[in-house]
Structures are given as C-alpha cells and as structure tokens.
Amino acid sequence: MGRLHDLVKASGYTGHPLELLLVRILFCLFADDTGIFQPAQSFRMWLEERTHEDGSDAGPQLAQLFQVLNQPEYARPKSLDEQLRTFPFVNGKLFEELLPIAAFDAKMRETLLDCCALDWSAISPAIFGALFQSIMDAKARRNLGAHYTSEENIQKLIKPLFLDDLWAEFDKVKGNRNRLFDFHKRLRTLTFLDPACGCGNFLVISYRELRKLELEILRASLALERQSGQRLVDIQQLISVNVDQFYGIEIEEFPAQIAQVALWLVDHQMNMRVSEEFGNYYARIPLVSTPHIVRGNALRIDWNDVLPAERCSYVMGNPPFVGKQHQSAGQKTDLLHAGAGVKGVAILDFVTGWYFVAARYISDHGIRCALVSSNSIVQGEQVGALWGWLLANGIRIHFAHRTFRWTNEGRGMAAVHCVIIGFAAFDRPDKTIFEYHDVDSEPHAIPAKNINPYLVDALDVVLPLRRMPICRVSAIRFGSMPNDGGNLLLSDDERHDLLVVEPQVERWVRPFLTADEFINGIPRWCLWLVDCPPDVLRRMPRVSRAVARVREHRMASDRGTTRTLAATPMLFGEIRQPVGPYLLIPRHSSERRSFVPIELFVKGEIVGDSNLCVSNASHKEFGILTSTMHNAWIRYTCGRIKSDYRYSAGIVYNNFPWPENATDSQKQKIEAAAQDVLDARAAHPGASLADLYDPLTMPPNLVKAHRALDAAVDGAYGRKSFKNDADRVAFLFELYQKYTSLLPAAATTRKTRKRVGRMAD
C-alpha cells in the first residue's frame, strides 16, 4: 500500500483525492477477504479480468466501481456489467464523493494486485488505522511505533473506565431474563467520545469489546430461553450495539476518515463472529449506521456540537504529548484558549488543554473520563497550575496508572513516560491505583480511599511554589553561575598546564562542582578570583587573557544584565558560594537510583548552578535528605526529564515536612547513621557516586548503612516502618497538611517560620 501511494502520488494525484482513493481501496481489500464482497476475491478477480495489463483503464474502472458501490441495486442501470452488478450497495457516504480519475500504469496496477494478495481480514484493529495512516508518510513508515496505541495500553484505560464495571454487572444479571434484557438495552444507550481520536484506535477497541460483551449477553439469553422451553427470536434482530454510539474529534482529515472506516471494518469482523456463533450469515451492508467522526480542533470547537454532554457516557483518549518548550505558536495559543482564566497555563504540557475542556464539558453531568498523559502533569510545578484549578472545579480522580513506559509492538517506538488518569465531576468510594515496580513492569491494582494529584492515596494536596521552607531549616539556593563562555573553567589537564606556566595561580584555582561531574567523579576546576588583588591578576598573563575573553563574551550578549556583568569579568556572573559547610544536591539525577546522591562539603569546593546547596548544614540535615523518606518525597513531587529526577527548591525542598518533633536522642541517632553512610562511601575511594548508587553495583556496606539511616529517620517521624514509597508519601502529605494549616498565607520570613515551628512543637 505504501508503494501504491508513492506511485499514485508521483503521477500527480495528491492531497484529499489521493487520501480518499486509498481509503476506498482499503475498504475493497478488506471486503474481499471478509465476505462483504461475494464471492470472495471479487475485487481481485474484477481487477484482473476487467482492466488492461498496462493499467491504462484502471482509473476509470475504479471510478465506475466506486459509483456502483454507492448505488442501491434497484437504482443501477440495467445494462450494467454483470460482474459489477455482483458488488453490494455499501452506502455510509464512503463512496459518495466524486473523485478525479487517477491515471494508472502497468506498475501501479500490478502493485494494486499485490495488495490483494494479503489476507486483510487478519489485520488487528489495534494497529489497523495507524498502519494505514503510515502509508501517507514515508518517514512514518520507518517510525511506526510513534503513530499508534497498542491494544495493551488501550485496555489499561478502558477496563477501569467502563469495561470492568460492565462485565461485573453482566455477571450479576446473566441468570435473570428481565434484568439481562434491561442490561442489554442499556448497552445501546452508552455513548463514547474520543476528543483526540487520531485513527480511532480507542474507539475501535472499545467498540469491539462492547460487541464481545453483547455476544456473551446473547449466549446467556439463548441459554435462558432453552431452559424455559421457549424459542429465541432471530438472533440477528437482537444485535443492538452499533458504531453510531461512537464519536471522535480529529484535527487531520485523513486519520478522521480512517477512524470511520476502521469502525465499520471492526463492526464487520464482529458480525462475522456472530455468524460463526449462531450459524447464519450476518452483515450490516448497506451501511446504515455511521460513526460520528468530526474533523476539527478539539481545543477550539464545542464538544457539545459533536455529542451533547447530557447524552455522553464516557470521554477517553490519548491527546498529543507536547512539552511547553516544544509547542508551536499555534499550540500555545490553543492551550491558552482551553485554559482561559487559569493561572500558570504557560508552564503546562499541551495535553492539559484536554483536561480543561473536559472538565467544563462534564460539569453537572455523570460523565466519566480517562486520558493518557505525559507524567509531567502529576509532577513538579505543573501540578499546582493544572490540578489546583481542576480540584477547585469539582474534578476528582477515580483511578490512575502511575508512571509507565508507553510502548507498543512497532519499530522505533517513542520513549515516553505516561500516566493514565480516570476522573469525573463527582466522587466515588471505590478507587484504584495501578502501581508499577518500574516503568517497564506489569501493573498491579491497589485499592485507595482517595487519589490526589500526585497519584498517591492521600489527601488532595497541591504543593505551591514556595520561596521559603515550611519548616525551621536552612534555606536552599542555586550554586554559583559562571556566565563566562567557559573561560573561567578548567579541566584537569588544563589546570595542570596552567600551573606549569603560572604556578602562582594555584591559590586562585578551586575545585568546581557541576552535577554531572560531581556524580561521576570527574575533576573540574575554576578560576575563583573573588579576593585576587588587581596587581596580582596583572602578573598572571594567561589568567588575564581568560578574563578578557569573559568580558568579550558578556559584552556580546543580547541581555542587558549580562552586558552589565562585563564590568567585573574576573568574577562569576552570580556568586552564591556558601561560607561554611554545605549540602550539595544535584538538580538532575537518574531515576535508576534509589537515592539522589547528596554530599556534605566542609572545604572550599565551589558549587555550580547545576546544583542546589543548603548552607550551614550538619550531619542531621545530610541524614534526613539522604534518607528513603526524603527520596520517596522526591520521586512523587519533583519534576522530571523523561523519568529522571529534576530536584527543585520551590516544590521539593521548601514543601518537605521535616521531623520537627524529633528528640535530641533521635537527632543523635540520625547524625551517627549519617556518618556511617559517609564512612561506607569512603571505604571505596576509587568509586564515584554514580558507581556507589547504581542499583547493580551499590556495595553491601553502603546498603546496610542506608538501612540503618532509614530506621533512624523513620523513628524521628514516630514510625517504625513503612510499606513502600506511597505509604511514606501519604504520611508526609498528612504531615504537610498539619504544618501548613498553622502557616499564614504570607509565611515567607525566617521569623514567621520560627513561630510556626514552635506552634508545631
């Protein structure tokens, strides 16, 4: 089909006519193998027998066939070719539009016949639409994995959204004729909307599963009728679930057409199953019922114009994953429109637009929704902007899949980390969290009393971006930023070469810590000229030349503040170096590690701005921040890059509930356990922190030291143990709620924090 597309396009037949031509050919290929066209292979035989080998008449012949497929048998000319007369009336508007006639040649005809050789009845509906869509884009053919949703992932959404409940209800009523009859009638009333339907994968699988359930209802009805000695009416008259219960919105024309045809095709597949089950051929030809697939911008159009909310049962789908930094100007405008009146929309992922529109659509209605989303919408600063508004507007989470890797069976699949969130404008008592041991594992269901925006069984808490900590602890800040064009920084070799030429520089060369080099144990140095007298600087020519290059770099900047810094080129652009001992926390760290590598420094290492630092830190602070308690908090509240941690001051550190009521004895235990962790690290002098905290190479003595530290920290919180990270974070959210309930709205000063701390004690 891809080759056929390329050949027809190369002939000059492009755009909408090409797309619709291929959709019609696709239907004919499928109909040839599934009994829609009888006898089987009618389309292939017609091509072979009624078109010339050079293909010269294939275009006109196809145009005539399409016209026949759009005509009821009684309206066809009596002189119509006998072979064409055997084709059924299809209707459904699929063949209604008159297309320009394509000019075929021998190669194009041969390629079309090659298409007929495939058994199209065997194509899985989960891949069918996107497989065909990829025909339209040569690049997409090489990267098919990014263009369709696997059935496994679709089932993760539709089962807890509606399918599990329907099957549970069926099990309750299948032994009662009247209740089973009423249940069957209710299936016909259900309606489904996918506002980002693409090729219709969610709609297709949902429809197929609904038809499977209906088939079980028919089996149960037949069994009950036989038991009562009555004869069941014609089974075909009892089939009521149909494609017109399914609605979709898709911005692109071709996928919208594919979604409609895919629903018809899976309808026919299910009709064949009914035929096999009950022994009578059953087909819905001509097509009377039509799926409602609307082409439009889902963030702009009124969903009520597609399906009035009072008639909608479920909203579901997989809106596009586009981070704030990758959105086009049009997407940013669409998102601002969808989130009109919501503070902080500019920081949100594109997918959140569907949440805003859905929340308004389902308000005051019993509609249940579920959307696949990038996991960043339940992490970091996005939570406040999105979920603060959603919770205020009555949205409650009913079920959630925590972070998992979005995969399918296609080649080149996108490495996306996702969540699935089921929600509605009403609450329900039975909620479920689907937990993953890691992003590639199978989910296991955990009952929950409540699911908050961080997908934790805890109170509905939204962490604000705070300037100061909620507890009585030292402030956290960024490290120093060179803003030097690299001229004040030195590798190990560059430092050595410089000291050979100008040994007097040694006093002004200090270790420089970036996050990556700190974690991986790579030496890095900087020229720290804060106290360097001018006359000394002039006697170091190589250093002076480096300083001159810094000045040139800053003067060339488009930013006025950077050009101002050119007046002091010997200094870092922003100096935030702690005076005494400090904790270094890398801003980015791998999610593979159970512990974010944190270090306690007492010497003169210069901390760079790819890290955060806590001044005046002791072993107690090091112990608490290095514990599993704090790392669990990180895993659930920090922002992510893919799935790697992005530690932040305003969300993670400043909102963290410290064990404020710890006794002196408990604090001493933490300090002693923290020193044991440092000693365990020091016992491996050749290993970097990356080596020490890799789950495959973490040494046993360090594992043991961390377990002891966790016991000491847990004890300071008044607990002996926790079941898992989620249990820890639920506990911390309760503590957060307690602390912040005592905190005035403007509690940002040290004086206020001390007062609140005394109240908490």
The pLDDT tens digits of the residues spanning 205-255 come to 999 999 999 999 999 988 888 776 665 556 667 789 999 999 999 998 878
For 230-235, the CB contacts below 8 A with 24+ separation are: 235/274, 235/278, 235/280
Asked whether the beta carbons of 528 and 508 are under 8 A apart, the reply is yes
Residues 487, 553: Cα–Cα separation, whole Å: 9
SS3 call for 724: coil
pLDDT value of position 718: 94
631 - beta bridge partners? Answer: none
Which burial class, exposed, middle or buried, applies to 105 when counting CB atoms under 10 A from its CB (0-12, 13-18, 19+)?
A: middle
Contact 180, 213 (CB under 8 A): no
Cα four-point dihedral sign 499, 504, 509, 510: positive
What does the pLDDT read at residue 132?
62
Looking at residue 579, its pLDDT comes to 86
Identify the burial level of 310 via C-beta atoms within 10 angstroms of its C-beta, where 0-12 means exposed, 13-18 middle and 19 or more buried. exposed
Q: 639-641 and 644-646: which strand pairing?
A: antiparallel
Collect all residues with Cβ–Cβ distance below 8 Å to 664 and sequence separation of at least 6: none
- β-strand pairing of 396-406 with 416-424: antiparallel
pLDDT score of 143: 44
CA–CA dist 227, 223 (Å, integer) = 6
- Give me the phi and psi of 92, to 5 degrees please: 65, 10
Residue 129: its pLDDT value, please?
63
Would the pTM of this model clear 0.75, i.e. be above it? yes
Give the start-end residues of each E strand in 411-475: 416-424, 431-435, 444-448
> How many other C-beta atoms can be found within 10 angstroms of the C-beta atom of residue 337?
15
* pLDDT, tens only, 379-428: 999 999 999 999 999 999 999 999 998 765 444 445 678 999 999 999 99
Task: Please state the length of the chain.
Answer: 761
With residues binned 3-state (H G I as helix, E B as strand, rest as coil), the percentages for the chain, rounded to 5, are: 50, 15, 40
Rounded distance between C-alpha atoms, residue 194 and residue 320, angstroms: 13
Specify the 3-state DSSP secondary structure of 526: strand
- Which residue, among 75, 66, 72, has the nearest Cα to 96 in the 3D structure? 66
Return the pLDDT at 417: 85
CB atoms within 10 A of CB 635: 22
Rounded-to-integer distance, Cα 648 and Cα 380, Å: 8
Q: Which residues of the chain have pLDDT under 70?
A: 92, 125-148, 228-236, 407-415, 642, 743-761
The torsion angle over the Cα atoms of residues 385, 390, 396 and 399, rounded to 10 degrees, is -50
Nearest CA to 343 out of 311, 393, 384 is that of 384
Question: According to DSSP H, which parts of 378-512 are helical?
Answer: 382-392, 492-501
CA angle 519/525/530 to nearest 5° reads 125
Instruction: Quote the pLDDT of residue 260.
Output: 87
